[in-house]
Chain A
Amino acid sequence: QVQLTESGPGLVHPSETLSLTCTVSGFSLTGYSVYWVRQPSGKGLEWMGRMRYNGDTSYNSALKSRLSISRDTSKNQVFLKMNSLQTDDTGTYYCTRGRGSTFDYWGQGVMVTVSS
């Protein structure tokens, strides 16, 4: 069945770089796009960017200068890297499968705290 699992450090220091991995199963990264969505604690959802099935990427312009998304299709993994983290980057980070830009399957999310 379709599964997405996020992994990464729970704590990142201010100004450092966040690296997250989304490992997928039950579908191919060359057939579906994978998106990253984040949610500050107690707040709403924010689309961060996407890795399309054909390898193209798109980013939210609000984050574009800090954000990079890549993939390794042989390992069924999609990677997120975001630099210059600040405290307002604290929250839960989700990867989700996209189908026509709707998000039909979601990972369980990984909580990231930015703190010194």
Chain B
Amino acid sequence: DIVLTQSPATLSVTPGESVSLSCRASQGISTSIHWYQQKSNESPRLLIKYASQSISGIPSRFSGSGSGTDFTLSINRVESEDFSVYYCQQSYSLPLTFGSGTKLEIK
């Protein structure tokens, strides 16, 4: 199984800061990585697909990059509504797997 390691586990930031969240795969997965946001007591929401492809309706401050084993979700100027948990997910091979998440919290 492909293991996705997300870091850091928790990131404390001030609104207005820009941040980068990391996801590292245990083997090369090309660009088969997707990012989700999950707010408290809500279902996850797809933010970015295939490492860097934008999703309709998602604010442009969210962007993704990377290929192979190292991937990054960037949030340009964090807003109050962005404080939640972020997960990466790989679709390179079955079983589909998720990272353990990065919690973005207010400093």
Contact = CB atoms under 8 A, between A and B. Distances in A.
Which bracket fits the contact residues of B?
20 to 34
A103 B98 contact: no
Dominant secondary structure of chain B at its interface with chain A: loop
A44 B36 contact: no
A101 interface: yes
Interface in A1-49: 35, 44-47
A35 B44 CA distance: 13
B96 interface: yes
Interface of A: 35, 44-47, 58, 60-62, 94, 100-104, 106-109
Interface of B: 32, 34, 36, 43-46, 49-50, 55, 87, 89, 91, 94-101
